[in-house]
Amino acid sequence: MELKRVVVTGLGALTPLGNTVNEYWSNLIAGVSGANLITRFDASKFKTRFACELKNFNVENHIERKDARKMAPYTQYAMVVVKEAIEDSGMNLETINKDRVGVIWGSGIGGLFTFQEECFNYAKGDGTPRFNPFFIPKMIADIASGHISINYGFRGPNYTTVSACASSTNALVDAFTYIRLGKVDMVVSGGSEAAITEAGVGGFNALKALSENNDNFATASRPFDQTRDGFVLGEGAGCIILEEYEHAKARGAKIYCELVGGGMSADAYHITAPHPEGIGATNVMRYALEDANMKAEDIDYINVHGTSTPLGDVQEARAIQNVFGEHAYKLNISSTKSMTGHLLGAAGAIEAIATILAIKNDIVPPTINFTTPDPELDANLNFTFNKAQQRTVRAGISNTFGFGGHNTSAIFKKI
């Protein structure tokens, strides 16, 4: 069968760098750090006392209080970015065929705050089981997609992908597949996460995954720097409206770019560590290129997973060299996690947006906080250190890798 073309027609973002797409992109290009001391709870006894929190965000400016109380923060964030993306897409909610609009969302954890809150409340009580009747519906990882569907009346495929930090890229690739097979006309896709809680920070500290550079928190997320010591936790959401090309043209939609390929693979190695030879990362980029019917030389930019962990950054860089060979030295590579921190299941969504806007605007956001070269990394690779770079970006890959060995890549290109 002839596969349909899939394009991007709307964007929404709620990030530690800004509460709209424009704010997010402006601060990405400016190389702003989103890290600061944690305000959400008293973190003074934690090994890590900083994170990339949302700033100047009040959910009641977006959602009525009575409705917001029925949602965990990760769902609230989802509702905010979906509204922005739908408005950006120019979708006419009165005339669109809602039977052919799906919602495929991603979240690695979901309602962690709600789960923690209910457990805290129970522990403070006398042992009598008193739980909020919305406890389960607020907590479950699929409920964000449910709320989106209910709010807008979208009756197409509706579910949430859960593959740790690869979750929202997984959602985008699934959405891409549904559209190109002709099963739907549009999919509201992306991801959201709200894990800056005592349990979230404490749990990642116990894994020794987080940076503990409390004295230099603003520069603690430093991918590919020899002094990196772990990732910085972030929060927020990103939404991308994916649409069948002819459907978008027929309604006169603005088109950002085309989504042309996706790949998925597994490391099949370890629950938290990447494969030492980068097999999964190598395979997933190759699969994405094959799916897009593209050659390595067609890619100009890679928005890497690049979490600022000692093992992960090296293995991803080696995988890029495995896949791209000599062309690897002509690529721009950057980790926007150096600015946003790691949004876990929402990382793929906001990083796909960064890739899309790099293609649209022909400018590559930087990898900030670099000072010390790592001898394990090839110094001839262009990691776009510390300053954004202008260049023609014909096509870009967005990589996301998750605990459990989950790897997903998406390829976007100019149209």
Q: Say what the pLDDT of residue 293 is.
A: 98
- Active-site position among 52, 147, 165, 275: 165
Asked about 342 being catalytic, the answer comes back as: yes
Q: What would the mean pLDDT of 373-386 be, rounded to a whole number?
A: 98
Q: Are 168 and 106 a contacting pair, CB within 8 Å?
A: yes
Give this prediction's pTM. 0.98
Bridge partner residues of 242 (DSSP): 8, 187
pLDDT tens-digit map of 34-69: 999 999 999 999 999 999 999 999 999 999 999 999
- Active-site position among 147, 247, 275, 342: 342
Q: What would the mean pLDDT of 202-217 be, rounded to a whole number?
A: 98
- Active-site position among 147, 247, 275, 305: 305
All residues at 6 or more sequence positions from 40 whose CB lies less than 8 Å from its CB, including other chains:
51, 53, 196, 197
Asked about 147 being catalytic, the answer comes back as: no
Q: What would the mean pLDDT of 127-149 be, rounded to a whole number?
A: 97
Q: Say what the pLDDT of residue 271 is.
A: 95
- Residue 1: pLDDT band (50, 70, 90) is confident
End-to-end distance of the chain based on CA atoms, in angstroms? Answer: 22
pLDDT tens-digit map of 272-325: 999 999 999 999 999 999 999 999 999 999 999 999 999 999 999 999 999 999
- Residue 79: pLDDT band (50, 70, 90) is very high
Q: Which two tokens stand for residue 20?
A: 């709209």
